[in-house]
């Protein structure tokens, strides 16, 4: 862990002044926070998934109901992660709290989502409705409650998702492979968790 933090500190010092969005201290003199913009394809993109999915081995992403046939055949199958809008542009985000980013995986029969309180939660997909540039998935939790997730394509790589699981009206997602193509805002706070960056 020390090696990772040391590497991050070196990268912070390498940033140009214009790339730094915030420098401050929190709670004590030893707990500092630096928020800056790094380029696409940086080490921080990998770091986001290393932290976010650190306990992924404890969860079977291929979990499925063996008693029912595959009912989803969709271009939306795969891993998804949120991107954030700042001053009219979209950015990847390396947060202070790993679960700040919303992660979703769609398989041919399941939806897996990271939940801040419960970790990875799996839902069984009931059906998929297709429209021209939009798909709506109906899925069920272990309690039998029905939820929905709609995915609408905005650009070639950017998608808008709405869901009964989200507490906001819409969230912007990209496929995991496209995440590295976005510049990344890094919330570097090595000692403790710090407040997240406010996107405007």
CB 72 within 8 A of CB 108: yes
Structure tokens at 51: 């932290």
CB 25 within 8 A of CB 33: yes
Closest CA to 16 of 32, 39, 42: 39
Cβ-based neighbours of 79, under 8 Å, separated by 6 or more: 103, 104, 105, 175, 176
Coil, helix or strand at residue 183: coil
Cβ-based neighbours of 124, under 8 Å, separated by 6 or more: 65, 109, 110, 139, 140
Coil, helix or strand at residue 132: coil
Predicted local confidence at residue 185, as pLDDT? 96
Burial per residue of 51-65, b for 16 or more beta-carbon CB atoms within 10 angstroms, e otherwise: ebbeebeebeeeeee
Kindly give the confidence (pLDDT) of every residue in the chain, 200 residues in length, as a single tens digit, with 9 standing for 90 and above.
Answer: 333 334 344 344 444 434 888 787 755 556 778 999 999 999 999 999 998 887 655 555 544 554 444 556 578 999 999 999 999 999 999 998 888 899 999 988 889 998 766 778 889 888 888 887 889 999 988 788 899 999 999 999 999 999 998 888 899 999 999 999 999 999 998 877 888 999 97
Q: In what order do the strands lie in the sheet with 20-25?
A: 20-25, 32-38, 184-188, 89-94, 84-86
User: What is d(CA 22, CA 86) in angstroms, rounded to the nearest whole number?
Assistant: 14
Q: Is the alpha carbon torsion for 41, 85, 95, 112 positive or negative?
A: negative
Predicted local confidence at residue 163, as pLDDT? 94
């Amino acid at each position: 862990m020390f090696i990772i933090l040391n590497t991050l500190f070196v990268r912070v010092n390498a940033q140009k002044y214009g790339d730094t969005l915030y420098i401050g201290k929190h709670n004590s003199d030893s707990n500092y926070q630096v928020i800056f913009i790094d380029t696409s394809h940086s080490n921080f993109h990998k770091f986001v998934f290393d932290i976010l999915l650190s306990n992924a081995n404890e969860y079977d992403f291929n979990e499925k109901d063996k008693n029912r046939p595959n009912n989803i055949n969709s271009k939306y199958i795969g891993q998804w992660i949120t991107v954030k809008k700042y001053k009219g542009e979209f950015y990847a985000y390396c947060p202070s709290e790993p679960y700040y980013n919303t992660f979703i995986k769609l398989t041919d029969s399941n939806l897996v989502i990271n939940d801040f309180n419960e970790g990875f939660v799996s839902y069984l997909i009931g059906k998929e409705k297709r429209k021209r540039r939009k798909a709506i998935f109906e899925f069920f939790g272990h309690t039998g409650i029905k939820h929905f997730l709609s995915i609408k394509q905005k650009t070639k790589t950017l998608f808008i998702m709405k869901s009964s699981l989200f507490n906001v009206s819409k969230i912007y997602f990209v496929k995991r492979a496209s995440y590295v193509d976005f510049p990344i805002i890094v919330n570097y706070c090595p000692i403790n968790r710090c407040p997240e960056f406010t996107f405007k």
